[in-house]
C-alpha cells in the first residue's frame, strides 16, 4: 500500500478498536474518537491520495484554489461543488471560509506575508497561518453555521524542501480526513512552487479524530481492504500559485488531469453521507 493508505487504514482500525464513544449533540449521532492522531508523508515521494476507496479529485483541487482566492462567497466554487452551501449565512457569505480568514479576516494577508517572509527568511520558524478567530469562534460564543476544522498550519523550509504541518481540531475520518490531507498537501505544493523549492513532509495532526456511527460499516470495509497502488507523484504546474490566486479554472483541470492519470483506486463505498452542521 502507499504510505498514506497504510497510515490511514491503521488510524481507522485504531479508532474502531480503541476509540471512545462520544455523542455529538449537533448532529444527534454517536462517534468513536481518539485524540491526537497524526499522519505524515513525504509529498516529494508520494502524494497523499487515498486509494482504498475512490475520492472525488476535482473537489479538493477546486477548493484549494478557492481558498487561495480569499473568497467568502462560494460563487466561483459552485462550478465544481456546492458542498459549502450548507454553511451559508443569511447574507450569502461563509463566516469561517478558510481562504477569507487567511487573506482578509485578521487585517492582513497571511498568505502574501508568508511568501514575503520566507523569501527573505527561508529558515524562519515564524511562518504560521491561523484560521481560528478566538474573538468569535467556539467556547460557547459562536452562532455561525460552521467553525474552522483545520485551524492553523505552519510552514518550514529545510533541506531545500517546504514542509507543512496542518493542525486540525476535528476531523471526520471517513469523508473529511482524506479530502483535507490531499487538499492541504496540494496547498503545500503550490506554496513550494511559488517559493522555488520542492515540497517535503506533510504532517496532518488531528485533535479529535472521529468516525460517525453511520460510517462504521464503511470503516470496517476500509479495514479489510488492501491495495497495491503505484506511488502518486505530483508536480505543480508553472505559475500555479499565482494562477490559483486568480481563480484560473484551467489550472484546476491541469492538476485534476495529472492526478487522474495516476489514480487507480478501489471502488467507492456506498452510503457514506456527510454529516452537516457539525461544530
Q: Residue 26's beta-bridge partner residues?
A: none
C-alpha 134/C-alpha 101 separation (Å) is 12
C-alpha 121/C-alpha 31 separation (Å) is 43
CB-based contact 114:126 (threshold 8 Å): no
Task: Find, among 244, 250, 253, the residue nearest to 111 by Cα.
Answer: 244
C-alpha 206/C-alpha 279 separation (Å) is 15
Residues with Cβ within 8 Å of 51's Cβ and at least 6 positions away in sequence, in order, are 1, 2, 5, 227, 229, 232, 263, 264, 265, 266
C-alpha 204/C-alpha 22 separation (Å) is 22
Task: Find, among 199, 219, 204, the residue nearest to 166 by Cα.
Answer: 204
Residues with Cβ within 8 Å of 237's Cβ and at least 6 positions away in sequence, in order, are 193, 243, 251, 254, 255, 258
C-alpha 179/C-alpha 41 separation (Å) is 15
| DSSP code for 215 | G
Which set of grid coordinates corresponds to residue 263?
489514480
Task: Choose the catalytic residue: 34, 65, 149, 192.
Answer: 149
Vertex 125, ends 119 and 126: CA angle to 5°? 75
C-alpha 159/C-alpha 27 separation (Å) is 45
- 149 is known as an active-site residue: yes
- Residues with catalytic roles: 149
Amino acid at each position: 500500500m502507499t504510505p498514506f493508505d497504510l497510515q490511514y487504514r491503521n488510524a481507522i482500525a485504531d479508532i474502531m478498536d480503541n476509540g471512545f464513544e462520544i455523542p455529538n449533540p449537533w448532529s444527534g449521532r454517536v462517534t468513536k474518537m481518539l485524540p491526537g492522531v497524526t499522519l505524515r508523508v513525504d509529498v516529494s515521494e508520494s502524494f497523499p491520495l487515498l486509494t482504498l476507496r475512490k475520492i472525488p479529485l476535482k473537489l479538493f483541487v477546486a477548493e484549494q484554489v478557492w481558498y487561495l482566492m480569499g473568497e467568502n462567497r462560494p460563487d466561483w466554487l459552485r462550478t465544481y461543488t456546492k458542498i459549502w452551501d450548507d454553511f451559508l449565512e443569511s447574507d450569502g457569505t461563509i463566516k469561517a471560509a478558510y481562504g477569507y480568514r487567511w487573506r482578509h479576516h485578521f487585517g492582513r494577508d497571511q498568505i502574501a506575508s508568508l511568501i514575503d517572509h520566507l523569501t527573505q527568511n527561508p529558515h524562519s520558524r515564524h511562518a504560521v497561518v491561523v484560521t481560528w478567530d478566538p474573538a468569535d469562534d467556539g467556547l460557547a460564543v459562536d452562532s455561525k453555521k460552521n467553525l474552522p476544522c483545520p485551524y492553523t498550519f505552519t510552514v518550514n523550509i529545510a533541506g531545500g524542501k517546504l514542509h507543512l504541518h496542518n493542525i486540525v481540531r476535528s476531523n471526520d475520518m471517513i469523508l473529511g480526513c482524506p479530502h483535507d490531507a490531499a487538499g492541504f498537501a496540494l496547498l503545500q505544493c503550490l506554496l513550494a512552487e511559488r517559493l522555488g523549492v520542492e515540497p517535503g513532509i506533510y504532517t496532518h495532526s488531528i485533535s479529535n479524530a472521529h468516525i460517525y456511527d453511520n460510517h462504521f460499516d464503511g470503516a470496517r470495509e476500509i479495514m479489510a481492504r488492501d491495495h497495491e497502488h503505484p506511488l502518486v507523484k505530483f508536480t505543480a504546474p508553472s505559475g500555479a500559485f499565482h494562477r490559483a490566486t486568480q481563480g484560473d479554472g484551467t489550472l484546476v483541470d491541469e492538476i485534476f488531469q495529472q492526478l487522474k492519470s495516476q489514480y487507480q483506486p478501489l471502488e467507492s463505498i456506498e452510503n457514506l453521507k456527510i454529516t452537516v452542521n457539525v461544530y
